[in-house]
C-alpha cells in the first residue's frame, strides 16, 4: 500500500485538529464563548507544527471541509476545527476524503474486477487486502492519534519484530 504525501499530510493535519479538540475542556471558553467547543486552529500553526507547505495544507483542509470532516471560519478568530468529535473520525475517513477508496485495482473496486484462469483468485486476494486495511484504518480514530493510545487491535499487530522490517 502506498500512502501519498497528500494523505500523510491530511492525517497529520487532522491529528493536530484532534489534539486541539481533546485539549478543550467542557465548559471552558472557546473562540465563540462558553462551551463553544474546541478553539479554532490557525492554518499557520498546523503547517508549522507538521512541516506541511501552507498552500498544500489549505487545499487539503478544503477537501476535508467538503467531506464534512472539518469546519472553517474566517477572520481573526477563525481557523479550522473538527466537525465531529475526534473519537468519531477514523483515519480511513480522512484518507477517503482526500484520496478516495482505501483499495482499488486500476481504478476499480476490488469486487468489480474479474480475472481468467490462474489469476481468478486475485479478486478474492484484493478484497481480503481491503478488509485487512479497513481493519486497521477504520479502527484508529483521530482521538487515538491525538492521545497516543492506539487500539489493542493495532498494537497487537506491532508485537512481532518482523513487522518493523521491510521486505524486498
- Contact status, residue 85 vs residue 21, Cβ threshold 8 Å: yes
CATH number for the domain that contains residue 66: 1.10.10.10
Is residue 27 assigned to a domain?
Answer: yes
Residue 129 lies in a domain: no
Quick check: is 106 in a domain? no
Residue 55 burial (C-beta neighbours within 10 Å; 0-12, 13-18, 19+): exposed
For the stretch 36-61, pLDDT in tens is 567 899 999 999 999 999 999 999 99
Write out the residue range of the structural domain in which residue 64 sits. Answer: 5-100+138-164
What is the pLDDT confidence band of residue 167, given thresholds at 50, 70 and 90? confident
pLDDT confidence band for 86 (50 / 70 / 90): very high
Tens digits of residue pLDDT in 99-112: 999 999 998 999 99
The counts of H helices and E strands in the chain are 7, 4
Q: Say how many domains are in the chain.
A: 1
Choose among 125, 107, 104: nearest CA to 115.
125
pLDDT at 21 over 60: yes
Buried residues in 92-126 as b, exposed as e (16+ CB within 10 A): bbbbbbbeeebeebeeeebeeeeeeeeeeeebeeb
| Residue 109 falls inside a structural domain | no
Residue 40 lies in a domain: yes
Structural domain contains residue 25: yes
pTM of the model: 0.87
Query: Would you place residue 26 in the very low, low, confident or very high pLDDT band (cuts 50, 70, 90)?
Result: low
Beta-strand relationship, 79-82 and 70-73: antiparallel
* 19 found inside a domain: yes
pLDDT of residue 13: 98
Residue 114, domain member (yes or no): no
Tell me how far apart the alpha carbons of residues 92 and 85 are, in angstroms, rounded to a whole number: 15
Amino acid at each position: 500500500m502506498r500512502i501519498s504525501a497528500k494523505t500523510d499530510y491530511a492525517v497529520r493535519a487532522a491529528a493536530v485538529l484532534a489534539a486541539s479538540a481533546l485539549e478543550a475542556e467542557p465548559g471552558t471558553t472557546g473562540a465563540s464563548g462558553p462551551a463553544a467547543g474546541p478553539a479554532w486552529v490557525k492554518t499557520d500553526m498546523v503547517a508549522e507544527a507538521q512541516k506541511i507547505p501552507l498552500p498544500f495544507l489549505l487545499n487539503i483542509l478544503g477537501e476535508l471541509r467538503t467531506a464534512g470532516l472539518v469546519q472553517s471560519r474566517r477572520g481573526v478568530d477563525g481557523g479550522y476545527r473538527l466537525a465531529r468529535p475526534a473519537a468519531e473520525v477514523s483515519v480511513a475517513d480522512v484518507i477517503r476524503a482526500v484520496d478516495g477508496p482505501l483499495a482499488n485495482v486500476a481504478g476499480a473496486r476490488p469486487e468489480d474486477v474479474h480475472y481468467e484462469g490462474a489469476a481468478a483468485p486475485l479478486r478474492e486476494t484484493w478484497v481480503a487486502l481491503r478488509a485487512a486495511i479497513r481493519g486497521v484504518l477504520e479502527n484508529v480514530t483521530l482521538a487515538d492519534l491525538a492521545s497516543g493510545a492506539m487500539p489493542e487491535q493495532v498494537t497487537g499487530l506491532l508485537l512481532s519484530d518482523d513487522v518493523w522490517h521491510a521486505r524486498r
